Structure 1
Amino acid sequence: MQTKKYTRLMLASTLVLAAHAGWASDEGTLTMGTSVNYSSGKYGTQTSTDITSIPLNVAYDKGPWTFKVSVPYIRITGPSDVVVGVGKTSATTSTVRTASGLGDVVTAATYNFYNNAEAQFGADVTGKIKFGTADSAKGLGTGENDYSVILDVYKKVNQLTFFGGIGYTALGSSAAIPLRNVFSLTAGSVFKMDEKNNAGFAYDYRQKSSATSAAQSELTAFYVHKFDKSWKTQTYLLKGFSDGSPDWGAGVSVGYAF
């Protein structure tokens, strides 16, 4: 199961790729924002699990570098053996619970190591750490740190930017929630409608992380509107195609660039 905070980080990266025909300003740009994200899915159980995520997102761009931090509030209602970020963690039937609190804090650093303006082609590498700050007893997370490395490439053709990526995550495992390391794939495109509007889609796949969970497979469609040089909003709809992903999800975010 991929929580909405991870999906939002992915989409933020996607939009950076779409706008990365040139590097960010050498003076640096600080962006702050928040979002409301909701998803619902059964994850291989008989009962739906509903997850709401409201993160505070901070990003700083300078030259070829982008740094990000996400601190989410999480609320989950569903079977107690469905854990945010993992999915079903046992083969037995569990009771339904509602829990809320601080989610996992996620930090990421992206370096645009190749940028060919003439060919309209570029490549980024990202290192990401998910800190196990969420309460594992409530099922808000695993309580362990995860470490990821992601390679993204992108190609601009007229108004379209095509992108793809491959990632590897070392998931924090414990006796209570034994997990295995996983590969992930991303592909999609962004269409620049005009100077203020962009729309696109992204498909994400991730290997199953445990014996009781399932692989993640989901498609996200999104729309971005820039009000001016500072304010930007984004909406999205998500459809899952496996027991490792929510059946559906939706959200809206807003960001301000200083």
Structure 2
Amino acid sequence: MRSLLSFLLLLTPVAAFADESAAPASPEKNGGPQFEISTGVEYEEGDYGTGTEINILSAPTSLKVATGRLQLVATLPYRRVEGPSNVVPGGVLGLPILFDPNQPQSDNVTREGWGDLEIGASYFVPSKILNMALSGWVKLPTAENNLGTGKSDYTLGAEVSKPLPGGIIPFASVNYTLPGSPEGYNLQDSYAATGGLAAMIGSRTQAYVSYRYADNASELVASDQRLITGLNSRLGKAFSLGLYGSAGMSEGAPEFTTGLRIGVSLN
């Protein structure tokens, strides 16, 4: 069976390792590297405790390569942000937004362009007790129009899951982020944790629900707490489809997020 993590890495939001919705199973054994490309659209909205509505529309494109116990993923989003000019999407930090202290807070403006390139790797740890993976992620400063901090950020993570009778899979993950030091920002190391349940609905569709807490790297924004749910489905051998959404449970989270992802196997 295709691994649960590879199934979800293709279909979850842009910062897959920072915003994972489920956890790994054993890697799929195959005779060579497996390639998948995905794209989609994600929309999130909220005031994040600022009193000003902020809307972020993202169109991420991801390429995944899986070989043996190793998986590599690269994601580049195109983003459109409506809100104050000092709002910066959080990216691999695992948070929806940051505030650029070098920019004055103006009335709402619309900015769009390429976001930061995010590159991640995941290694499945051999274990007969739990499904386990260790991951690393780096965000490279490729963003346009003040849609990034201009510095690289790094995230380390671990994910575990345990298939139970009846097809129920509890899972949990933890991530630790070391942000760069952009001029004027006062960012600190932060962490995020996720826990939830996944279950197969039929032979090709999986449903999941999880709770996620993300500490904030900036004192200017509250923590991000949200409830996440979604469906992932395989459409034949080559295509996959994911639908997901979240509801914010803290001031620092978006009021809601919704997204769609489509994946295509290149093998």
TM-score by length of 1: 0.88
2:133 to 124, 129, 142: 124
The answer as to 2:212 corresponding to 1:204 is yes
Residue aligning to 1:42: 47
Q: CA deviation at 1:194?
A: 1.6
Residue aligning to 1:87: 98
Residue aligning to 1:142: 149
TM-score by length of 2: 0.86
The answer as to 2:14 corresponding to 1:5 is yes
- Which residue identity lines up with residue 40 of structure 1 in the other structure? E
Residue aligning to 2:108: 96
Residue aligning to 1:27: 32
The 8 Å contact of residues 25 and 61 in structure 1, kept in 2 or not, is answered as no
Q: CA deviation at 1:189?
A: 1.7
- Report the Cα distance in structure 2 between the residues aligned to 1:204 and 1:223, rounded to whole angstroms: 17
CA RMSD of aligned residues (A): 2.0
1:157 to 137, 161, 164: 164
Residue aligning to 1:74: 79
- Report the Cα distance in structure 1 between the residues aligned to 2:17 and 2:259, rounded to whole angstroms: 9
For the structure 1 residues 24 and 134, does the alpha-carbon distance in structure 2 shift closer, same or farther, using more than 3 Å as the test?
Answer: farther
- Report the Cα distance in structure 2 between the residues aligned to 1:14 and 1:26, rounded to whole angstroms: 26
- Report the Cα distance in structure 1 between the residues aligned to 2:191 and 2:31, rounded to whole angstroms: 33
Residue aligning to 2:61: 56
1:120-164, Cα deviation, whole Å (9 max, x unpaired):
x211100110111113xx341111110011011111102011111
Q: Give % identity.
A: 26
Provide the secondary structure at the position in 2 that maps to 1:6. Answer: coil
- Report the Cα distance in structure 2 between the residues aligned to 1:115 and 1:230, rounded to whole angstroms: 29
The 8 Å contact of residues 89 and 212 in structure 1, kept in 2 or not, is answered as no
**Structure 1 stretches of 4+ moved >6 Å:** none
1:167-204, Cα deviation, whole Å (9 max, x unpaired):
11001122232211101111112101121111001222
Return 5+ residue gaps in structure 2 as ranges.
Answer: 1-12, 91-96
- Which residue identity lines up with residue 123 of structure 1 in the other structure? M
The 8 Å contact of residues 149 and 169 in structure 1, kept in 2 or not, is answered as yes
The 8 Å contact of residues 85 and 109 in structure 2, kept in 1 or not, is answered as yes
- Report the Cα distance in structure 1 between the residues aligned to 2:133 and 2:223, rounded to whole angstroms: 25
Provide the secondary structure at the position in 2 that maps to 1:14. Answer: coil
